[in-house]
Structure 1
């Protein structure tokens, strides 16, 4: 009978994924090697292979867990909106806040999602892309419900992508501990949605 994997094993995997995401963001996925990741983890390459058979396996686990987390945030936002009896606009605003709070602590994972999905095998890549599409579809639903007069079948894709354009690339310029916090930026996004720049 196979021995069950311990919580320590999963904890170690989480640590490896954190370090690997940093390596991929710093060096790029193609340039980072298993040896680079092992060194950054403070372990041997042989020990790293105990957890992952390849760099591609690390990337897939990283993106698999991260996209599941993003979908879970959507489910949590919907549940919170129901529990708090929020109106549709406040529900969208809560979703924006939740995503930016996540982005604050997972910038390197987000870089991997936006830059490295193309390096996965076809089946794995399609799974991750489908989850990204699910995230976009959920944001579109939230937007449509929040602003039914403004968001139409003709412009809903453009407006959803405009919102993602505001929040998805924060890792390139918004720094934890910088002049503006992620939570303050979330409030700017919410204000822009509600009032525009006027």
Structure 2
């Protein structure tokens, strides 16, 4: 008979995956050891192997889990009855919000997917294509001529370029939140620089008080 899982097995493994993602994102996949993962989870190395077979399996869980959440996001938006512009704006908003909570997983996906075995890479890249295609089709919904001109995918990749690397510079404790940035990205996408709302609360520089002139003599 197969060994029965202990209560809390799945939640413990999720914690391990989360801690591994943080370590891989900070130190890189190859430089991180299973000993370090075990220590981060307050587990012995033997206990760690009860939940995952090796470091490669951890990488698969991180990348696949992230892509599955993005695909679910795409499916969720697809089920809503929306006008083309509203659909594209909602996709942008949902992606930015998802990345806010998955910065480590996203960094691992972008920098360490090359270390996966070919069969795992193929499956994860297939999920990435689904995500890109959904965004490209949302763009075509707004501008149908993009499909014939074959510009839908290049514009989609430019859009993802704005979204994907936001974690590199956006400070979590700054005046700009991911929620606010989602609106900025959409405004920039639809209207160029002239459409971006620059009057964001908390960001305006305080007015410089002019010194009163001292009367001569």
Could you say what secondary structure the match of 2:85 adopts? helix
Residues 82-161 of structure 1: matches in 2 within 5 Å? 82=81, 86-150=82-146, 152-161=148-157
Residues 5-154 of structure 1: matches in 2 within 5 Å? 5=5, 8-79=8-79, 81-82=80-81, 86-150=82-146, 152-154=148-150
Deviation at 1:179, TM superposition (A): 2.5
**Which deviates more, 187-196 or 5-14?**
5-14
- The structure with the largest alpha-carbon Rg is 2
Deviation at 1:154, TM superposition (A): 2.4
Deviation at 1:3, TM superposition (A): 4.6
**Which deviates more, 126-135 or 103-112?**
126-135
Match of 2:167 in 1: 171
- Relative to structure 1, the CA distance from residue 21 to residue 195 in structure 2 (aligned partners, 3 Å threshold; closer, same or farther) is same
Could you say what secondary structure the match of 2:193 adopts? coil
Deviation at 1:55, TM superposition (A): 0.4
TM-score calculated relative to the size of structure 2:
0.85
| Aligned-residue CA RMSD (Å) | 1.4
Residues 21 and 108, structure 2, Cα contact 8 Å, conserved in 1: yes
Unaligned runs of 5+ in 1: none
Deviation at 1:4, TM superposition (A): 4.7
Q: Which runs of structure 1 show a deviation greater than 3 angstroms over 4 or more consecutive aligned residues?
A: 3-7, 149-153
Q: 1:194 and 2:190 equivalent? A: yes
Deviation at 1:141, TM superposition (A): 0.8
Q: Which of the two has greater helix per residue?
A: 1
Q: Distance in 1 between matches of 2:145 and 2:192?
A: 15
Deviation at 1:78, TM superposition (A): 1.3
Unaligned runs of 5+ in 2: 195-217
Q: Distance in 2 between matches of 1:136 and 1:4?
A: 40
TM-score calculated relative to the size of structure 1:
0.93
Tell me the number of residue pairs that the alignment of Structure 1 and Structure 2 aligns: 194
